[in-house]
Amino acid sequence: MFKAAFLTMLMLSGAMSAPVSGTESAEVIPHNVTTIDKRVTHVGRATWFHAGLGNCGDWDDDGSPIIAVSSAMYKEGGNCNQWVEVVNTANGKTVYARMRDSCPPCGYDDIDLSPAAFQALAPLSQGVFTASWHFMNQMTQTAKYLWKECQVGSANDQNTKSDQKRYFEIRITAYTLGAHPASHTDYDRQLLYKSNKASLSNLIQFGTNMRKSLKAALATSICAYSAQASYHGLHPGQHPLTAGGVKSDTNEFKVAIIGAGAAGSSAAFWLSRAKSRLGENITITIYDKNDYIGGRSTTVRPYDDATIPTVELGASIYVDANKNIARAVKEFNLSTVEYGDENQETGIWDGSEFVLTLSDGGWKKWWTTAKLFWRYGYSSPLKVRTLVKDMVNTYLNLYQPRVPYQSITAISSALNFTHITSVSAAEYLTDNGVSPLFVHELVEAATRVNYGQNVNDIHALEGMVSMAANGAHSVAGGNWRVFERWVKESGAKVHLGTTVQQLRQGTKGKWHLAVEGAGEETYDAVILAAPYKSTGIKLEAPGLDLGTAFPPVDYVRLHVTLISTTAKHPLGSYFFPAAPETAVPQAILTTGSGSVEPEFNSLTYHERIQREGQPPEYIVKIFSKSRVSGEWLEKVFGNGTVGWIRRTEWDAYPQLPPTTTYPSVKPATGLYYVNAFEPFISTMETETIASLNAVDLLLHDRYGRGVCGYKSEEDYPSYAESGDFVYGWDC
């Protein structure tokens, strides 16, 4: 992918970053208790899950009264360990619980309760109810005392457990009173009266002799006994928003998803969120012909050595503007790697000479800027930066709440992008005052490395997307880890290494899915989350015109060659036959504007590796239109310098000529096509946006409501105007 550092310099704008800050939880114990009435009250769906290791970093068991809140309420751990009062609006029952985890599938005001907390308000078999809840004051001195008592294990005997059960409805109230532990009788009376008036007369007779056991019971209720992980869908024993919270099997709605890449995995995730919010019995099954999750995002290990970091074969980066992937990375606490090396030089090669060399580091950055202005003038870089910035700002509207789009044409029109997709990048940029030299050298370097296409051949929107790489990151271990987590969070059944051969719609509207080497399965709806042409699926449905629904979309056949080499740089003799000692950059992009077509699209040095007993090596990634031979590698890097080689050939991305015609988002009743979006914008992130739109369409068709439970844009809450709001996550 195009270097983020290079693009940042090119656009003459500061690098954007979104660090994930760690959360330090320090318990502050106020002497005075603030009034609960001043807190903001939320009303949402309450469900239950099996407790364990929460994102706040603490262990809890099912007997601990805890809750998990939505990603927005979690605030990257900012609300960890706060106490919450939860009321079942149907019966008025109240419980007090501690916020210990985040719940990615939860809507903005929804909460997920441990079984202990849920049972205080409703039977587990009910699965879901409407709750009113708010954050309370921080722990009082008494609460802190009890918490410490819990930690040293003073409340683990059987008598205490019996007391815990008896006083379940009153056990957290101590944290809201602030009474001094020395005033035993008054303390007990306040506690019992405030939390359980109905049993007051029976409990008072225990008097002060019950204080210790009552306190022990309270402490027990907040103790964590076990070491079971809690990841809201990841742990096999967990019930994320589904146990008892859906309708009976007679109303089961079966959805098949074909493809487990960015589109399919995110579609499963969006469906699981809808299942929570709507309370419907939706079952999800994923099929993928590959034996891994990730689609075109996959990694390999040099030499198959587990001690060496993985290398991306494709789909290498995401950027700050990619809110779905960025949000998932934060929610799932995935480590990231910043993209690019500020000390690495980048050259643009036209097949016979380097037309420009660039560097981001130190004084060289200023020299690079001077060279840019000297070669292209002052206005061209600034005009491109402005055009790209305006495009990104418009694109961000896709994260706002909305009714689903019925077609890609409708999306393009709503964003006012149609006039941009209808012309080539070269035509659009030059018409907007950008110099042809800048377009055919710098912009084309970006389109060739990102999409394997020249500026005369690619539409202007995708051309500008190629330039929008500010704040670039990748997930440590591979971007596919996001997609794997989405699948796990969804609770979907997954069939990998499974080729779907036929999709046939029956007379009753059901879809019959035939798998190679197996029988048929029947589904109510199907989400096709892979390029239709590449699936080879035989598709039949009444009235379906395949030519209209799936107009031809050709894909770029890309050769990806990964090597390890002891050469610190490519050989000067390949690029400068007359001056073989000339230093060559470690990152080389190309332009097709020269007299000789370059033999590769890009060549970039990546990690430095060190195998035991071997000299240091460098991992190099080469994109090309045709296979690079071993002889060519020796010519570029030197005889005997290349060790490990991994070659991959695949349809990496669609050909993206100027167009206003796109495949159908809904080719037939109950069939939804995510990859219809690809000829418009083709990125990992936009596949997740397209999948959300497809899922929204499916849900509106079935239930009259979308992922967030709303029927129309007028139903969406005002907090959607927040810059941090992400539709589908925050609802």
- Full residue range of the structural domain in which residue 602 is found: 340-376+555-654
Q: Is residue 470 part of a domain?
A: no
Is 429 among the domain residues? Answer: no
Please report the pLDDT score of residue 359 as a whole number: 76
The residue type of 380 is S
Let me know whether 544 and 559 are in one domain. Answer: no
Q: Could you read off the pLDDT of 480-500 as tens digits, one per residue?
A: 999 999 999 998 999 999 999
Is 401 domain-assigned? no
pTM of the predicted model over 0.85: no
N-to-C CA span, the chain: 32
Domain boundary among 596, 628, 654: 654
* Domain co-membership, 530 together with 571: no
What pLDDT, on the 0 to 100 scale, is given for residue 139?
41
State the Cα–Cα distance between residues 95 and 64, nearest whole angstrom: 12
For 112-166, how does the pLDDT look when each residue is reduced to its tens digit (9 = 90+)? 999 999 999 999 888 888 888 888 754 433 444 444 444 444 334 444 434 443 3
> What CATH number does residue 44 fall under?
2.40.40.10
Q: Are residues 145 and 204 in the same domain?
A: yes
Task: Kindly state whether residue 77 falls inside one of the protein's structural domains.
Answer: yes
In a domain, 100, yes or no: yes
- How many domains are contained in the chain? 3
Q: Answer whether residue 419 is part of any domain.
A: no
Q: What is the CATH number of the domain that holds 489?
A: 3.50.50.60
Shared-domain flag, residues 45 and 94? yes
**pLDDT of amino acid 215:** 34
The CA distances from residue 716 to 241, 689, 730, in Å, are 22, 18, 11
41 token code pair = 């009250």
Q: Is residue 71 part of a domain?
A: yes
Say whether both 109 and 199 belong to one domain.
yes
Q: Are residues 369 and 481 in the same domain?
A: no
539 & 562 share domain: no
Specify whether 565 is located in the same domain as 507: no
Maximum Cα interatomic distance, the chain, rounded to a whole number of Å: 102
Assigned token pair, 22: 């760690």
* Element counts in the chain: helices (H) and strands (E): 25, 27
Residue 209: per-residue pLDDT: 37
Return the H-helix or E-strand segment holding 500. strand 500-505
> In angstroms, rounded to a whole number, what is the distance separating the alpha carbons of residues 632 and 639?
10
> pLDDT tens digits for 566-618?
999 999 999 998 888 898 999 999 999 888 999 999 999 998 999 988 999 99
Neighbouring CB atoms inside 10 A of 269's CB total 33
Are 508 and 628 in the same domain? no
Q: Strands, DSSP E only, in 569-641?
A: 587-590, 602-609, 617-624
Asked which of 604, 635, 654 is the last residue of a domain, the reply is 654
Residue 433 lies in a domain: no
Which of 595, 627, 654 marks a domain boundary?
A: 654
All residue ranges of the chain with pLDDT < 70 are 1-39, 137-250, 315, 339-343, 360-367, 716-723
Same domain, 562 and 603: yes
In terms of domains, do 258 and 149 share one? no
Instruction: Quote the pLDDT of residue 567.
Output: 96
Rounded CA-CA distance 674/260 in Å is 12
Alpha-carbon gap, residue 513 to 523, rounded angstroms: 8
**SS3 state at 406:** coil
- Compute the distance between CA of residue 115 and CA of residue 185 in angstroms, rounded to an integer: 31
Pair (528, 592) in one structural domain: no
- Residue 334: what residue type? L
